[in-house]
């Protein structure tokens, strides 16, 4: 109703409110912003304002239209208030822009004013910096002048002090007042160090020169003081304090070391003058057996030194050690002369006794030096230690020598950093070095007599209980004592010569061990021989290990430059060879012990066997003998490595012997070969158990050993399967031989197989001719093939057969061919046999062997197999095997023919007829 009363606005007319033209179109975002700012409850301010609903709310019915003028008046008033507020806002915005422009101009003026002030401050700062620099320069000049002035004053003051000190020092030296002279000289030298850079100043140069003159004067007076003191009688000697002060003056000098050495030389010369005149002027007293009197003389001198002279020297001078060093040098020179004059008349035993005494004396001197270093009581160096050690020299020398270092130090300067007492090691005993070859000769004779007792020494219960020959432990114990003794005397060339002597007799001892083994190669292994052989193995292993330790000890004791000359490698190799020889003796002895089993094997009539039974008695005999002996060997050999070596060698040797024994059993029938094949598997089982025989904790045999046994057994199986192959047809037998033997073209091997089968001479000759035509013309001179190769020996160009597979051509289980070629095509041989080709026709190309070592079944072989199957009646394996599956036929086995289709023709008769027609 109210909606129809309101006329719609005319769009062509201008708006009644001029401000309406300034309004922008309403958007949802603008409405939401206005609602958030105004926060009004007036419906006119709502963004969802609906005029129709608003009018209907104002005029709900016709009666309410009477209030229309009032409503219009109110709306107009509201509209005018809105217009007024809009105009005020526009006017305020215009006034704000003008005010902002004026404010910007005012700020710009303030910035310009500030910039001017900053420029003024900058120029002021530059000026101030220049002023400060000028002031700092003036202050630096003043400081430099002050330092120079202070330094000049200090130098002048030191110069005055040094001049005064030099004058006082000269006065004190003139009156021999050494105690104040020492302190004053130290001060003068400290002052003189400051004038070393002023040598161009004449006054300072004169003072430095005067300081040198004063030191020379002091040196002269000190030398005169000690010369007079120890050359005069004891009653007129100056007091010890005066000499002690003189020593302190020497320590204060610039070249104190030279003056100290000169003073000690004077003292030592004065003290050793009597010793030289006594022992160098009388040959009887200077004799080698009187060496102990020399050492006793020094001990008396040291007691005198400690009682009367030690106080004259500071402890740092070690006057006692220097005196002992000079005595040792003189004694070494005297003893070297005595030894050289004796020449061949030298008593080796007496020399070694003197050398031992000398080494003990050197150890005593070393201990005395160590005690003197530790003593800090009154400057006296270990008086009590000297007297106590004098009585204990013989008992303690060995301990001291054991603990002395191995390095050689002949001379140690006074005040050095070497270990106390190390300068006395080999100080005198080095004179005996050139003559210690006599000692080596004596040791050589002693070891020779010791080793000679081992040659015929029987094996004792102690040897068996220890597991090694006690002679080896005795020998190395003697070596150890000799090494300790020699190392005390010399660690130079003598020790190298001793190592060579050790090596020589170790080689002889290795020969003695090898000589204990059984020499009879056909004698069975008795319990005594078994025990001795195992003891030799253990002893050789013990010697091999101990030689390495001995070599290390020798090198540890030897001088560094001689370590490379000590080598015992060849001796270790000798004992390894002895152990290997002993193992071979055990292998040979066990083989001889089971020889009755092989003898029984030869006596079996293999050609007349008609049925395959259980394993033969000879196999039980061999297995029992092997098990009994090998168990004992396992318990007796200490090192498992050598037992594994025994197992390898014994398995190889036994299989070779078994293979060779098969040739002695000729002739062998096909049934006999099958029985022998069964026995071979029993022997293989025994050999496989070999590593665990006699062991309380059985384990899996080593893979290499299992392969070794399998390889040897495979060779025997190959031979027996060839024997199991039927003789007829001859060409088929030859083809099968070449297939199984991996193209063995050795004529001797082929003839041995023919003899083993017991063929007639005519058949052997025919097969031999066929063999020569199929192989190279020089087949008679070819090396042995796999059938003639010992177990463990590789054949060049033709790997040995391996067990564990089925041949694709022959169908024989447990064998695969490892050669590079297979036999000639069987189809060609069959055609030649049947007259299809001439005997002069060349053979076809031989197919290659597959990657797995099994000959691939060629088309020609398949053709021959098919033809052969058609000729066969009542299909059976031609090797004489029954239904148990042992053995195989030549060619692949086709399915059996139905019973109604089997022709009743004898296969051997058919081949015999074909062969007669061919001839």
- pLDDT tens figures, 87-123: 888 888 887 878 888 888 888 888 988 988 898 899 9
Q: Tell me the angle at which helices 178-192 and 68-174 cross, rounded to the nearest 10 degrees.
A: 130
pLDDT at 580: 94
pLDDT at 58: 81
How confident is the model over 266-295, as a mean pLDDT?
A: 86
List of long-range contacts for 276-279, beta carbons under 8 Å, 24+ apart: 276/330, 279/334
**End-to-end CA gap in the chain:** 143
pLDDT at 387: 35
Is there a contact between 642 and 693 (Cβ–Cβ < 8 Å)?
Answer: no
Alpha-carbon distance 706 to 700, whole Å?
A: 10
pLDDT at 419: 56
pLDDT at 423: 82
Is there a contact between 570 and 503 (Cβ–Cβ < 8 Å)?
Answer: yes
Alpha-carbon distance 563 to 550, whole Å?
A: 13
> pLDDT, tens digit, for every residue of 411-441?
333 334 445 557 888 888 888 888 888 889 8
- Rounded mean pLDDT of the chain? 75
Among 143-152, 612-621, 767-776, the range of highest mean pLDDT = 612-621
Alpha-carbon distance 628 to 716, whole Å?
A: 25
Question: Residue 846 pLDDT more than 50?
Answer: no
> pLDDT, tens digit, for every residue of 193-224?
777 677 677 777 777 777 878 888 888 888 88
Reported as half-sphere exposure (CB side, CA atoms, 13 A), residue 424 has a value of 27
Per-residue confidence at 373, pLDDT binned at 50, 70, 90? low
φ/ψ of residue 821, rounded to 5: -140, 160
Is there a contact between 578 and 540 (Cβ–Cβ < 8 Å)?
Answer: yes
* Radius of gyration of the chain, Cα coordinates, nearest whole angstrom: 60
pLDDT at 444: 92
Query: pTM for this structure?
Result: 0.58
pLDDT at 917: 44
Distances (CA, A) of 561 to 119, 407, 429, 807: 85, 11, 20, 66
How many other C-beta atoms are found inside a 10 Å radius of the C-beta of residue 812? 25
Instruction: Give me the residue label for tokens 């000398």.
Output: 358
Alpha-carbon distance 480 to 609, whole Å?
A: 68
pLDDT at 191: 76
How confident is the model over 142-161, as a mean pLDDT?
A: 82
> pLDDT, tens digit, for every residue of 457-510?
888 888 888 999 999 999 999 999 999 988 888 888 889 999 999 999 999 999
Per-residue confidence at 829, pLDDT binned at 50, 70, 90? very low
pLDDT at 864: 34
How many other C-beta atoms are found inside a 10 Å radius of the C-beta of residue 50? 11
Question: Residue 918 pLDDT more than 70?
Answer: no
3-state secondary structure of 821: strand
Per-residue confidence at 328, pLDDT binned at 50, 70, 90? very high
Alpha-carbon distance 445 to 452, whole Å?
A: 11
pLDDT at 192: 74
SS3 per-residue string spanning 180-230: HHHHHHHHHHHHHHHHCCCCCCHHHHHHHHHHHHHHHHHHHHHHHHHHHHH
Per-residue confidence at 785, pLDDT binned at 50, 70, 90? low
In the chain, what percentage of residues exceed pLDDT 90? 25
pLDDT at 790: 52
Q: Which of these, 810, 754, 763, lies nearest to 787 by C-alpha position?
A: 754
pLDDT at 232: 56
pLDDT at 897: 34
DSSP state letter for 844: P
Least confident piece of the model among 218-222, 576-580, 792-796: 792-796
What the block records as the tokens of 616 is 């033969």
How confident is the model over 859-868, as a mean pLDDT?
A: 36
Question: Residue 404 pLDDT more than 60?
Answer: no
Residue, of 727 and 852, whose pLDDT is higher: 727
> pLDDT, tens digit, for every residue of 4-27?
334 444 444 344 444 444 445 567
Residue, of 181 and 447, whose pLDDT is higher: 447
Residue, of 378 and 587, whose pLDDT is higher: 587
pLDDT at 51: 84
pLDDT at 69: 87
pLDDT at 706: 92
pLDDT at 740: 85
> pLDDT, tens digit, for every residue of 672-696?
999 999 999 999 999 999 998 888 8
> pLDDT, tens digit, for every residue of 217-245?
888 888 888 888 887 555 555 677 788 88
Alpha-carbon distance 231 to 242, whole Å?
A: 16
**Maximum C-alpha span of the chain:** 173
Distances (CA, A) of 617 to 313, 605, 607, 621, 626: 100, 14, 17, 6, 14
How many other C-beta atoms are found inside a 10 Å radius of the C-beta of residue 426? 24
Sign of CA dihedral 393, 396, 401, 405: negative
DSSP state letter for 780: G
Is there a contact between 354 and 291 (Cβ–Cβ < 8 Å)?
Answer: yes
């Amino acid at each position: 109703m109210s909606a129809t009363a309101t006329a719609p606005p005319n769009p062509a007319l201008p708006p009644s409110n001029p401000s309406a033209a300034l309004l922008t179109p309403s958007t949802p975002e603008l409405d939401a912003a206005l609602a958030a700012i105004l926060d009004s409850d007036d419906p006119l301010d709502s963004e969802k304002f609906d005029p129709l609903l608003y009018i209907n709310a104002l005029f709900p019915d016709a009666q309410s239209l009477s209030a229309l003028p009032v409503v219009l008046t109110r709306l107009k008033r509201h509209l005018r208030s809105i217009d007024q507020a809009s105009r005020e806002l526009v006017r305020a915005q215009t006034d704000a822009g003008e005010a902002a422009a004026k404010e910007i101009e005012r700020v710009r003026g303030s910035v310009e004013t500030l910039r001017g002030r900053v420029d003024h401050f900058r120029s002021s700062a530059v000026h101030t910096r220049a002023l400060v620099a000028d002031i700092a320069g003036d202050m630096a000049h003043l400081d430099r002048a002050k330092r120079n002035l202070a330094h000049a004053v200090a130098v002048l003051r030191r110069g005055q002090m040094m001049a005064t000190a030099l004058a006082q020092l000269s006065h004190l030296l003139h009156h021999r007042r050494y105690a104040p002279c020492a302190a004053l000289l130290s001060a003068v030298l400290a002052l003189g160090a400051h004038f070393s850079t002023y040598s161009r100043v004449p006054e300072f140069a004169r003072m430095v020169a005067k300081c040198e003159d004063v030191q020379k004067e002091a040196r002269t007076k000190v030398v005169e003081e000690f010369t007079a003191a120890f050359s005069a009688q004891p009653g007129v000697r100056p007091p010890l304090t005066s000499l002690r002060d003189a020593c302190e003056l020497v320590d204060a000098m610039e070249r104190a070391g030279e003056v100290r050495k000169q003073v000690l030389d004077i003292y030592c010369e004065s003290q050793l003058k009597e010793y030289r005149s006594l022992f160098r002027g009388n040959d009887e007293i200077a004799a080698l057996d009187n060496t102990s009197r020399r050492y006793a003389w020094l001990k008396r001198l040291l007691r005198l030194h400690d009682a009367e002279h030690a106080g004259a020297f500071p402890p740092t001078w070690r006057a006692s050690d220097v005196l002992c060093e000079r005595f040792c040098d003189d004694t070494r020179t005297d003893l070297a002369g005595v030894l050289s004059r004796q020449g061949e008349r030298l008593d080796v035993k007496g020399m070694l006794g003197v050398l031992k005494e000398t080494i003990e004396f050197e150890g005593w001197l070393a201990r005395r030096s160590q005690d003197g270093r530790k003593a800090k009581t009154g400057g006296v160096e270990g008086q009590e230690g000297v007297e106590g050690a004098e009585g204990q020299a013989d008992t303690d020398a060995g301990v001291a020598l054991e603990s002395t270092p191995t390095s050689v130090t002949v001379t140690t300067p006074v005040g050095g950093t070497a270990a106390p007492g190390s300068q006395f090691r080999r100080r005198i005993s080095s004179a005996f070095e050139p003559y210690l070859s006599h000692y080596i000769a004596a040791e050589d004779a002693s070891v020779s007599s010791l080793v000679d007792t081992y040659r015929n020494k029987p094996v004792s219960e102690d040897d068996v209980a220890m597991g090694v020959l006690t002679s080896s432990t005795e020998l190395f114990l003697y070596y150890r004592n000799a090494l300790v003794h020699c190392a005390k005397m010399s660690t130079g060339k003598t020790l190298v010569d001793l190592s060579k002597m050790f090596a020589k007799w170790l080689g002889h001892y290795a020969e003695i061990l090898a000589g204990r083994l059984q020499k009879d190669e056909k004698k069975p292994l008795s319990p005594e021989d078994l025990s001795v052989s195992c003891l030799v193995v253990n002893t050789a292993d013990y010697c091999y290990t101990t030689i390495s330790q001995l070599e290390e000890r020798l090198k540890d004791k030897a001088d560094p430059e001689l370590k490379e000359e000590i080598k015992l490698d060849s001796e270790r190799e000798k004992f390894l060879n002895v152990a290997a020889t002993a193992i071979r003796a055990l292998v040979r002895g066990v083989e001889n012990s089971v020889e009755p089993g092989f003898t029984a094997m030869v006596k079996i009539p293999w050609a007349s066997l008609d049925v395959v039974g259980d394993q033969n008695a000879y196999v039980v005999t061999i297995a029992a003998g092997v098990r009994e002996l090998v168990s004992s060997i396992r318990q007796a050999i200490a090192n498992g490595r050598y037992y594994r070596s025994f197992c390898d060698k014994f398995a190889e040797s036994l299989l070779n012997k078994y293979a060779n024994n098969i040739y002695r059993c000729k002739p062998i029938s096909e049934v006999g070969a099958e029985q022998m094949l069964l026995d071979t598997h029993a022997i293989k089982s025994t050999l496989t158990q070999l590593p665990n025989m006699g062991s309380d904790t059985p384990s899996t045999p080593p893979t290499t050993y299992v392969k070794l046994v399998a390889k040897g057994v495979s060779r025997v199986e190959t031979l027996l399967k060839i024997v199991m192959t039927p003789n007829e047809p001859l060409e088929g037998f030859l083809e099968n031989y070449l297939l199984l033997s991996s193209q063995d073209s050795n004529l001797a091997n082929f003839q041995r197989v023919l003899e083993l089968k017991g063929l007639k001479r005519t058949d052997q000759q025919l097969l031999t001719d066929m063999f020569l035509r199929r192989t190279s013309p020089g087949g008679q001179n070819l090396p042995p093939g796999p059938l003639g190769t010992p177990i463990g020996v590789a054949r060049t160009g033709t790997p040995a057969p391996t067990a564990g597979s089925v041949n694709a051509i022959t169908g024989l289980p447990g064998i695969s061919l490892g050669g590079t070629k297979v036999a000639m095509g069987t189809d060609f041989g069959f055609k030649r046999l049947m007259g299809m080709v001439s005997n002069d026709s060349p053979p076809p190309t031989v197919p290659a062997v597959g990657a797995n070592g099994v000959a691939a079944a060629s088309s020609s072989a398949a053709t021959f197999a098919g033809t052969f199957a058609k000729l066969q009646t009542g299909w059976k394996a031609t090797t004489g095997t029954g239904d148990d599956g042992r053995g195989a036929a030549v060619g692949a086995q086709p399915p059996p023919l139905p019973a109604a289709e089997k022709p009743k023709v004898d296969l051997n008769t058919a081949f015999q007829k074909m062969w007669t027609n061919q001839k």
